[in-house]
Amino acid sequence: MKTQDFIEIEEQYGAHNYHPLDVVIERAEGVWVYDVEGRKYLDCLSAYSAVNQGHVHPEILKALLEQAKKVTLTSRAFRNDQLPMLYKELSEMTGYEMSLPMNSGAEAVETAVKLARKWAYQVKKVPRHQAEIIVAGNNFHGRTVTIISFSTEPSYRDDFGPFTPGFVVVEYGDASAVEKAITSNTAAVMLEPIQGEAGVIVPPAGYLKAVAEICRKNNVLFIADEIQTGLGRTGKLFAAQHDGVRPDITIVGKALSGGFYPVSAILADKSVLGLFKPGEHGSTFGGNPLAAVARARPRVLHEEKLAERSAELGEYFIEQLSEITSPHVKEVRGKGLLIGVELKPEAGGARRFCEALKSKGILAKETHDNVIRFAPPLVIDKETIDWALPSIRETLNMT
Ligand SMILES: *Cc1c(COP(=O)(O)O)cnc(C)c1O
C-alpha cells in the first residue's frame, strides 16, 4: 500500500480530530523517521516532546521487552516490584519526596487539580467546594472537560460545555495579575513554564519566581505543568529551574516513558501528596509494572546528558535560525531545543511552510496558525542541525 491508500482508509474510518501532515510513518530510529515509501525525515516535533531521548531508544526498548515478558499489569489492588523503584528513582532524580503515576498528561493535570482542591479544604481550610485555581490565558493542559473548562481557545471549548467551575484565568507573563486574582479561596496557581501549544511563548525572566513568591506569601500552591517542558527539553531537568523555582507540585508526562507507553506523574512533597487516602483517587493502569519503561528513561536522560545537549544545541539552533533573513519571519524564540519560529500574519500561515519542509525531509508541525515549532529529539547532533539549516532557510524564503 502507498501513502495515499493509508490516508484514504484513515479518513474513512477514523475521527477527524487531527489534521496531520500527509506522511505515513512506518519505523523510526533516533532523530529519523521513515515513511511507507522508504523516504527518510528528520523529526523536528518528537511527538510533542514525548521522544526526547530519540525514537526506539535501545535501553528503554530493552526495559520494555524484559518487563513485558514478566508481568505487565497488576492494578494497584496488589503491589508489584517495579512501582517502588519508580517512586524512589523519581524522587532521587527530581528532589520531590513523593510521586503519583498516571497515564496521560491530562490525567496527571486532573490529579494535580484534585490534590490542590483537597489541600485547600484540609490544610488551608477553604470552605468546601469553594476552592479556586488560577491559570493563564492561552494555556494548554489537556483535553478533558474540566481542563477545557479553563481553556481560552475556542476550538478546544466550543460545543463541549457545560464547564467545570472553580478556575480563574489571568494573563500569562504578568505576575501582578496573579496577585490581584488571589482570594482567600485560592488553592493554587497552575502554569506552563513555557507555553508550548500556544506557540512556544517564553515568559519574561523572573515571572515564575515572582509567581512562586506570591504563592508562598498567600498560602497558595504553585503547580508547574512540565509535561512538555520537563525532562531536559529546555536545557534543564525542569524549565522552572531557569527561574530558580521549585513548585509545590510538578506535573510530568510525555517524555517520562520515552515515547514507548503513556506514563505521567505528579511530583510533590509529603505534606501535599500525602493527603490522598485509600480510595480517593486511582487509575487501573497508573503505576503498572511496565512503568519499568519510565525507570529506564531517567537513566538515559542522565547518562546521555540530554539536558546539557539541549541547552548547548538549542542555543546554536536558535542562533542559526535567528540569522536567517526571510521576509516571512517575525520572531525566533525558545529555550533549549523547544523553539518557535513565528511568521508574520501576511506569510499565509505556518502550514504551507511545514508542507514544504516535509518535501525536503524535515517534519515540523505548525502550532496555532503562525508558528513553526522545532523540537527535535535531544539526541540530535550539530551535524544534523547543519544538514537541516539550508532547507529551513530555503523554505522560509519561499514566496
Ligand atoms: C501535551 C500536554 C498535556 C496533555 O498531555 P496528554 O498526554 O496529551 O493528555 C498537558 N499539558 C501540557 C503542557 C502539554 O504539552
**In the sheet where 132-136 sits, what is the strand order?**
98-102, 264-268, 249-252, 221-225, 186-191, 132-136, 167-170
Ligand 1 atom closest to the CA of 197, numbered from 1: 15
Look up residue 384 and give its three cell numbers. Answer: 544534523
Rounded to whole angstroms, how far apart are CA atoms 34 and 25? 6
- What is the whole-number distance in angstroms between the Cα of residue 396 and the centre of ligand 1? 29
Cβ 142 under 6 angstroms from ligand 1: yes
pLDDT for residue 299 is more than 80: no
Predicted confidence (pLDDT) per residue in 85-139, tens digit: 999 999 999 999 999 999 999 999 999 999 999 999 999 999 999 999 999 999 9
**End-to-end alpha carbon distance in the chain:** 34
CB-count exposure of residue 370 (10 Å: 0-12, 13-18, 19+): buried
- What is the whole-number distance in angstroms between the Cα of residue 184 and the centre of ligand 1? 29
CA-proximal residue: ligand 1, atom 15 (nearest)? 228
Confidence at 300, pLDDT banded by 50, 70, 90: confident
- What's the longest Cα–Cα distance across the chain? 62
Rounded to whole angstroms, how far apart are CA atoms 182 and 180? 6
Phi first, then psi: what are they for 331, rounded to 5°? -160, 145
CA-proximal residue: ligand 1, atom 6 (nearest)? 105
Q: In the chain, which ranges are continuous DSSP H helix?
A: 3-13, 46-49, 58-70, 83-94, 105-119, 145-149, 154-157, 175-181, 207-217, 270-273, 292-303, 306-322, 351-359, 382-396
Closest CA to 392 of 328, 321, 332: 321
- What is the whole-number distance in angstroms between the Cα of residue 150 and the centre of ligand 1? 14
| Residue 162 preceded by cis peptide, ω within 30 | yes
Predicted confidence (pLDDT) per residue in 238-249, tens digit: 999 999 999 999
Q: What is the CA radius of gyration of the chain?
A: 21
Describe the crossing of helices 306-322 and 292-303 by its angle, rounded to 10 degrees.
60
| Average pLDDT score, the chain | 96
pLDDT for residue 339 is more than 90: yes
Residues 379 and 46: beta-carbon distance below 8 Å:
no
Rounded to whole angstroms, how far apart are CA atoms 32 and 344? 30
Residue 373: the pLDDT is 97
pLDDT for residue 368 is more than 90: no
Cβ 106 under 6 angstroms from ligand 1: yes
Q: Domains, the chain, ranges and CATH?
A: 3-57+305-396 (3.90.1150.10), 71-303 (3.40.640.10)
Closest CA to 111 of 265, 329, 323: 265
Question: What's the full length of the chain, in residues?
Answer: 399
Rounded to whole angstroms, how far apart are CA atoms 253 and 267? 11
Share of the chain above pLDDT 90, in %: 95
Residue 291: the pLDDT is 82
Predicted confidence (pLDDT) per residue in 38-58, tens digit: 999 999 999 999 999 999 999
Cβ 110 under 6 angstroms from ligand 1: no
CB-count exposure of residue 12 (10 Å: 0-12, 13-18, 19+): exposed
Confidence at 5, pLDDT banded by 50, 70, 90: very high
Q: What is the pTM of this model?
A: 0.98
Helix (H, G, I), strand (E, B) or coil at 269: coil
Residue 304: the pLDDT is 87
Cβ 229 under 6 angstroms from ligand 1: no
Rounded to whole angstroms, how far apart are CA atoms 213 and 388? 42
Active-site residue set: 140, 225, 254
Predicted confidence (pLDDT) per residue in 272-295, tens digit: 999 999 999 999 999 999 887 878
